[in-house]
Structure 1
Amino acid sequence: MNPKQITSLLKRLAWLPLLMLSGCKMVLLDPKGQVGVDEKSLIITATLLMLIVVIPVIVMTLVFAWKYRASNTKATYRPNWSHSTAIELVVWIIPCVIVAILGTITWKTTHELDPYRPLDSDVKPIEVQVVSLDWKWLFIYPEQGIATVNELAFPVDTPVNFKITSQSAMNSFFIPALGSQIYSMAGMQTKLHLIANHEGSYDGFSANLSGEGFSDMKFQAIATDEQGFNDWVSQVKANAETLDLNSYPTLAAPSKADPVRYYGSVSPILYETILMQYHNGGKHAAGHEDHAGHAGHDADAGAEMAGMPMNAAEETH
């Protein structure tokens, strides 16, 4: 095999990873929100920088193996060769430079893409409280006074501030087309800020194995114009069903492949009660004493679930 044939073989092998992934939806490389666009840029930049080392190493490995094969009597034979300053400089300086560049870029983008960092926008964000259940997603809109199961909607070009917790098992909230994933954990609150720059319906799911119903733990994230969002809110409010401290334990019971569900009204302390159910000696939400309060910010409210009397409680931080 001559050098020309080797070059031809390398070109063909370069397409192999793409052919292997041809059946996959490359959602991360086709983002529909600014966070996703920035993450795509970081992925491509880091990959290209690393290929500066990877590609020459692969090429030289094949070339050296061919050139210094046992049957090639024309190759220089140096049994006592042991050191080359030029080679040492290349194999150390170039990787060090690339690592320094990658480190700088990673440091900068880590802060810029911090999921807790609010997005820069002149548009007022909307707030969505997210609870991962076994095995479905509950979305509470405190400003609109509604709640939904397995369906999320928001206006396009509007930042969405997510506050995320879990009823029980740890899950991972992820909308690949829009950007970062972040974990949901019982008794703890995480935050995520996303924005959609294109109208559409995007797949969302849990990226963390959490039990037998995990594979069906999916939802739709709908980005629409302002009027479309208002119409969607009106549609949800038209539903007479209410989600409160009495009806929540029924919803929280484990179930699989749940359909989309709308609640026209929701208890204003429900999310805080779920969040604080394991704090201050509280027990599981289904029929035991729980406390609504705070995970990172002030809150007033306390509750006992499943029809038990609610008592006001105030926490001062």
Structure 2
Amino acid sequence: MSSSKLPRRLILLPFVALLALLGGCKAVVMSPSGDIAMQQRDLIIISTALMLIIIIPVIILTLVFAWRYRASNTNATYDPEWHHSTVVELVVWSAPLLIIIALGALTWVTTHRLDPYRPLDRIAEGHELPTNVKPLTVDVVALDWKWLFIYPEEGIATVNELVAPVNRPIQFKITASTMMNSFFIPALAGQVYAMAGMETQLHAVINTAGVYEGFSANYSGAGFSDMRFKFYGMNTADFNNWVQQTREGGGDLTREVYLKLAQPSEKDPVRRYAKVDADLFDAILNRCVESNRMCLKDMMAIDEKGGLGKSGTYNVATDASTRVRLGLAGTPARNYVGAVCTPANPTGSGVLDDRVPL
């Protein structure tokens, strides 16, 4: 039987099946639960609508012209000498120009309003930020291949689990241990890159309690596919209870524990830490978790003062002993610039004055 004789229902069956499959998808980006993500969604919709003002008429007119001036239509006017129309030129150039101006103005305004480094001035549309609300600070570290979240004010940390109260601004400070990753919770806000030795930021708020997906949106190696975590939006009472439970049931995240945690691993379970070294995130950011490694900020301070001179070329340390102590003797050792300690200088003129030897 030829395809032209097939029943119409059979012809439409593949399209019905495709619609059924698409119906199972949840477009989180277009249906978010955080105010920043909602504003970003509105920007996508408005930008698309503005562009469709040009795209749809062009598509329609292309089909109309192709049909009207087909070779078999002898009734269509044939004028090979036609070459100019002021009205056509005005429409063809002015309409796209107006769209570009509108898109440019919209992009300029929203780029500054939705700057991830910009603190929030509202928690939702029509709800200004209360003056007595302090943002929740969360330090984010992209590891291979898992996520570490440190709550500096609460003194706790988690792996592959992020919790925040609803309608309270969140300030994320983001970095990475090695590979570049991208921190992304579609329901909360847009993605922000995590890079070793650098700190990026994201200000956001979740407005609806629930469980949301978070993941890395930038390929970073073998375990990338499973570099996911759950983000829990809770009311304030439940969040406080969760913090208390973590303090009572977690372990200690010391520098040595972190060095073991930072080793590449896949499909890591959720872990909680009741206590965190106060300066751990700063050490991760400055790439000096190992006690004998010089911090990046100290390197920059020395360079600003003119450097260490020729003697600085010999200031190289190895982490071989550190790896043996951590039970990682089989992994390759790395060399790096060693830490420098100077005597205290009461005048304050030294680069690393009052630094405690490690």
Q: Structure 1 residue 239: deviation in Å?
A: 2.4
Q: Which runs of structure 2 are paired with 1:127-146 in the superposition (5 Å)?
A: 127-146=137-156
Number of the residue aligned with 1:299: none
Cα distance in structure 2, aligned partners of 1:59 and 1:82: 22
Name which of 209, 221, 224 aligns with 1:214: 224
Number of the residue aligned with 2:5: none
Number of the residue aligned with 1:291: 295
Moved more, 304-313 or 92-101: 304-313
Show CA shifts across 1:165-189 (max 9, x none): 0000000000000112100000000
1:259 alignment partner, SS class: coil
Are 1:69 and 2:70 an aligned pair?
yes
5+ residue gaps, structure 1, are 1-14, 295-303
2:140 alignment partner, SS class: strand
Number of the residue aligned with 1:260: 270
Q: Which runs of structure 2 are paired with 1:158-169 in the superposition (5 Å)?
A: 158-169=168-179
Cα distance in structure 2, aligned partners of 1:207 and 1:28: 14
Show CA shifts across 1:30-80 (max 9, x none): 110110111111111111000000000000011111111111111111112
Q: Structure 1 residue 293: deviation in Å?
A: 5.1
Are 1:105 and 2:84 an aligned pair?
no
Number of the residue aligned with 2:88: 87
Cα distance in structure 2, aligned partners of 1:214 and 1:287: 29
Aligned length: 285
Q: 1:259 to 1:290 in 2, by over 3 A?
A: farther
Q: Structure 1 residue 290: deviation in Å?
A: 4.2
Cα distance in structure 2, aligned partners of 1:292 and 1:145: 24
1:264 alignment partner, SS class: strand
Cα distance in structure 2, aligned partners of 1:251 and 1:43: 39
Q: Structure 1 residue 23: deviation in Å?
A: 4.8
Are 1:273 and 2:277 an aligned pair?
no
**1:274–1:292 contact (8 Å) kept in structure 2:** no
Q: Which runs of structure 2 are paired with 1:2-17 in the superposition (5 Å)?
A: none
Show CA shifts across 1:225-263 (max 9, x none): 011001111121122411111111110000011111111
Cα distance in structure 1, aligned partners of 2:59 and 2:23: 23
**1:33–1:177 contact (8 Å) kept in structure 2:** yes
Moved more, 31-40 or 48-57: 31-40
Percent identity at matched positions?
52
Number of the residue aligned with 1:248: 258
Instruction: Please tell me the residue identity of whatever aligns with 2:152.
Output: P
Number of the residue aligned with 1:38: 39
Number of the residue aligned with 2:3: none
Q: 1:68 to 1:22 in 2, by over 3 A?
A: farther
2:255 alignment partner, SS class: coil
5+ residue gaps, structure 2, are 1-14, 122-128, 299-317, 327-337, 343-351
What is the TM-score normalised by the length of structure 1? 0.84
**2:255–2:290 contact (8 Å) kept in structure 1:** no
**1:30–1:177 contact (8 Å) kept in structure 2:** yes
Cα distance in structure 2, aligned partners of 1:314 and 1:219: 41
Q: Structure 1 residue 291: deviation in Å?
A: 2.4
Cα distance in structure 1, aligned partners of 2:245 and 2:176: 26
Cα distance in structure 2, aligned partners of 1:293 and 1:153: 31
Cα distance in structure 1, aligned partners of 2:34 and 2:255: 35
Number of the residue aligned with 1:55: 56
Q: Which protein shows a greater Rg?
A: 2
Cα distance in structure 2, aligned partners of 1:217 and 1:170: 13
